[in-house]
Structure 1
Amino acid sequence: MSSGFESSARTATAAPTNADVEELRQTVHDLALRVSALEAELHKERPVATTEVATLRPAVLIGPAAEVRSSVESVSSSSVASVPASAAVSHQATSTPASPVASILPTQLPGGATLNYTFDGYYDYDFNHPIGRVQYLRTYDVLSNAFSINQADVVFARDPDVAAGRRYGVRLDLQFGQATETLQGSPQNEPRPDIYRNIFQVYGTYVVPLGKGLTVDVGKWASSLGIEGNYTKDQVNYSRSFFFDYLPFYHAGVRSSYKVNDKLAVNYWLVNGTDQSEPTNSFKDELFGFTAQPVKSVLWNFNYYLGQDHPDAAPAMNCTTPVQPGLCLKAITPAPDGKQHIFDSYVTWNATPKLALSLEGDYLISREWANAAPGESSAPAHVDGGAAYARYQLTPKMALGGRTEYLSDRGGLFSGTTQALKEFTGTYEYKFGEGFLTRVEYRRDWSNVPFFLTNKPGVLSTDQPTLTMGMVWWVGGKTGAW
């Protein structure tokens, strides 16, 4: 039976009819037309694909005055041209190809949006061998003799593009790791910090069609008080200064920036407070500032901040009406009403294509009470001082950075102890390629009083010498400072 079946099958296929042949010809003709159409579509899309791949190059490391914490960054979500970031470039971009990771992770999205990723880790050695491996007055390098994850971040950014007819934009920075414990604060400075712990920044932008464009941001953003910023790749050193640790990390509210001309932009903020996603009182803090670029190689920022950080309510346990956790409160009567004034200024000079120099000066005065009542003191506490930075690009891959700083903490606003703090930091950087760098850093902090931990309980040291290796990886479609 098997052979009979095969024979009949061969007979059926061996003698096709004229109708079968005509149908086959028509099918082949239709397939040829489809292939031609697909080839034409493929040739049209190839130039676009090439352009998109070219935008996947990671950001170029730039000098301190053009990074996230700068007032220029408050404009960068929209009219970044107010003060060109190129004026603060501390070394030239290399022709290093984009990181292979860029071909795996999505970095460029439709409509001009970008996705950006970074991982920042370190190993630190404290020569004091402190109890618990804890280092005082450090922002990110908080642990000694430990492999530590400083932070891992994902940044979504879609800047306004007025030329293309889009006046709005949005940015979201999600953050994880040790840095969240430093940056987000605690219940001492805002009611419910855990809600916002992983949201380092989130704000929407609109460019109001007024004059050269009034840029308005609403949400939560990194503070521009102080020259240093969050993302290590954009800084001179791996560690951060005392003033970065003391000045506000973030604000929530509304901010605006107006570009007067090519040399001047003015800024105004109205916010909940310092490091407050939710307010602790009804007073709204304000910032008045400007960013100036008198010549191409000089960038200058000045900020005046008026605030009131004293809470007017405290946690309670007897609320009878259902409220969200953390919102059961009782009034503080009378509530302290003293104000806080911050004067902050910093300038960067790109002396040569390889050498960048920066200076920062800060003065802060804070009172608990505006007017002293009987038995109460309105004596102010002060923090003042400054820092100097230098960065020299030895080769496209190697750079040296230095920082020296003085902070007078009268009244213990910063450290809890009245003291004069000094520090020196020297940093060697090696950049393996766009998207990966390492920094080896020696730092010495010292004070005029014993303050820093040692390996002996109850015994404090006047200095804190450390040696750190930090490594940073990043990839994304965003160019320049993050």
Structure 2
Amino acid sequence: MKVIKTSNLTKFLLLVAVVFSSSYTYAQEELDTEIEEVEEETSNWTLSGSVDAYFRTNFNGVNKVEYDADGDPIAFPQAPASSFANTPGFALGMANVILGYEGSKVGFVADLVFGPRGEEAVFNSVGSSNIVNQLYVYYNVNDALTLTLGNWNTFLGYEVISPAANFNYSTSYMFSYGPFSHTGLRADFNFDDNWTGMLAVMNPTDFTEFNPYGKYSFGGQLGYSNTSGSAFLNLLYGEQSPVSDEATFQIDLTTGWDLTDAFYLGFNTTYADTDGTGFYGAAIYPQFQASDSFAIGLRAEYFKELENDFDEAIVYGSGVRALDFTLTGSYTVGSLIVKPEFRLDSLSEDMFVNRNLNNIDDNLSSFLIAAIYAF
């Protein structure tokens, strides 16, 4: 009887098994790598924003349009001459949607706004651009340098456009009459773990979608930060007006520090001048975290317009002084922030019609309560 030898067959089968196993392992590793890359790419996408609305009323000022016997308007709702949160009764803020992508080298931000607050923020944009709050691309050249091209919110000042990022719901005079946004090219520098810098060439301030006048401005910033807080010295220089060849010069200091686990103190001071027209001011922002869900904070601001011989005003009039005291509570439940706020504006001249329509006062006291949902 013939004996069948199986040694060669066994070796062949083992070889096939090894090859198949290796191929499967390699394919699985490739699949795992592809999944990881997809997950990494997906995680680089971000979607954030906020929605806000509020109710506002004056204690000693006009809250509605008042008419005489002939039906002609004789008084209008009174509000501080600062940006946002100035409408009487129940009112809308804005819907803010921010889409971003952050790669290892490149990325972008598309920040869109809808509603009254957003429209005020982009007041120099028209057409389809009047919903663009920020729109820029950036390139991380290396760990020390990032280049950005497009439109971004201003680097000057303590406050920002988004109500979710401010402690006080209404805004200061310094923020309202400083820049809102810039369009141009900027270079951000990381000198070390604490010190940063920035240089930029930009369109005239708040001309966000293009440059209609062929004039440019220049910006600079020097920053220091650590685990307790930060400080930024900001500069803006350049021709901003289509009818003037005089350049605007603005210098601004913004800083804020955690003095204890519960107490924070912010400070902002600024000076802006365009051929004798401008303003200067300072504000402190003490805030106390009473519990995990409730905090209370004050903005105490001094603001004065520069005096000039041609009596040109930025806000109320040449040489007029304004004091703003804003006390804000902030209660957080989940992603919802509720902010009750008392505000007193005091001027060096009579500007506010009182609610009885029989006098003009130098002060206006008001109350609002705002609801902000941030995601």
Same fold (TM over 0.5): yes
**CA offsets 1:11-65 (integer angstroms, 9 cap, x no match):** xxxxxxxxxxxxxxxxxxxxxxxxxxxxxx9xx99xx99xx9xxxxxxxxxxxxx
8 Å contact kept, 1:157–1:172: yes
Q: Measured at CA, do residues 395 and 174 of structure 1 come closer, stay the same or move farther in structure 2, by a change above 3 Å?
A: same
**CA offsets 1:77-128 (integer angstroms, 9 cap, x no match):** xxxxxxxxxxxxxxxxxxxxxxxxxxxxxxx982510112311111001121
2:132 is the alignment partner of 1:199: yes
Quote the residue 1:238 is aligned against.
Answer: 169
2:239 is the alignment partner of 1:338: no
8 Å contact kept, 2:277–2:314: no
Q: What letter matches 2:331 in structure 1?
A: Y
Secondary structure (helix, strand or coil) at the match of 1:470 reads strand
Inter-partner Cα distance in structure 2 for 1:458 and 1:366? 37
Richer in strand (by share): 2
TM-fit CA distance, 1:193: 3.0
**CA offsets 1:410-435 (integer angstroms, 9 cap, x no match):** 245431512001110111111112x1
Give the TM-score normalised by the residue count of structure 1.
0.64
Q: Measured at CA, do residues 360 and 468 of structure 1 come closer, stay the same or move farther in structure 2, by a change above 3 Å?
A: same
Matches within 5 A, 1:118-197: 118-127=50-59, 128-130=61-63, 131-144=75-88, 146-160=89-103, 166-186=104-124, 193-197=126-130
Consecutive unaligned residues of structure 2, counting only runs of 5 or more, are 1-27, 64-74
Which residue among 316, 323, 343 is the counterpart of 1:443? 343
Which residue among 195, 213, 218 is the counterpart of 1:281? 213
8 Å contact kept, 1:438–1:472: yes
Matches within 5 A, 1:248-263: 248-263=179-194
Inter-partner Cα distance in structure 2 for 1:122 and 1:449? 29
**CA offsets 1:286-339 (integer angstroms, 9 cap, x no match):** 00111112x53131000111021221xxxxxxxxxxxxxxxxxxxxxxx53111
Q: Measured at CA, do residues 448 and 384 of structure 1 come closer, stay the same or move farther in structure 2, by a change above 3 Å?
A: same
Give the total of aligned pairs: 324
Secondary structure (helix, strand or coil) at the match of 2:191 reads strand
TM-fit CA distance, 1:452: 2.5
8 Å contact kept, 1:423–1:444: yes
8 Å contact kept, 1:452–1:463: yes
TM-fit CA distance, 1:458: 9.2
Quote the residue 1:460 is aligned against.
Answer: 360
What is the aligned-residue identity percentage?
Answer: 21
How large is the Cα RMSD of the aligned pairs? 2.3
TM-fit CA distance, 1:255: 1.1
Give the TM-score normalised by the residue count of structure 2.
0.81
Inter-partner Cα distance in structure 1 for 2:161 and 2:358? 34
Q: Measured at CA, do residues 282 and 456 of structure 1 come closer, stay the same or move farther in structure 2, by a change above 3 Å?
A: farther
Matches within 5 A, 1:321-336: 336=244
Quote the residue 1:290 is aligned against.
Answer: 222
Quote the residue 2:260 is aligned against.
Answer: 352
Inter-partner Cα distance in structure 2 for 1:256 and 1:364? 23
TM-fit CA distance, 1:364: 0.9
Inter-partner Cα distance in structure 2 for 1:150 and 1:273? 26
8 Å contact kept, 1:310–1:337: yes
Inter-partner Cα distance in structure 1 for 2:230 and 2:206? 26
8 Å contact kept, 1:280–1:310: no
Consecutive unaligned residues of structure 1, counting only runs of 5 or more, are 1-40, 53-107, 161-165, 187-191, 312-334, 368-379, 476-482
2:299 is the alignment partner of 1:403: yes
8 Å contact kept, 2:159–2:175: yes
Inter-partner Cα distance in structure 1 for 2:361 and 2:298? 24
Q: What letter matches 1:200 in structure 2?
A: N
Q: Which has the higher contact order (CA 8 A, sep 6+)?
A: 1
8 Å contact kept, 1:268–1:289: yes
Inter-partner Cα distance in structure 2 for 1:109 and 1:121? 35
8 Å contact kept, 2:204–2:241: no
8 Å contact kept, 1:136–1:453: no
Secondary structure (helix, strand or coil) at the match of 2:118 reads helix
Richer in helix (by share): 1
Q: What letter matches 2:287 in structure 1?
A: R
Inter-partner Cα distance in structure 2 for 1:175 and 1:453? 33
Q: Measured at CA, do residues 137 and 268 of structure 1 come closer, stay the same or move farther in structure 2, by a change above 3 Å?
A: same
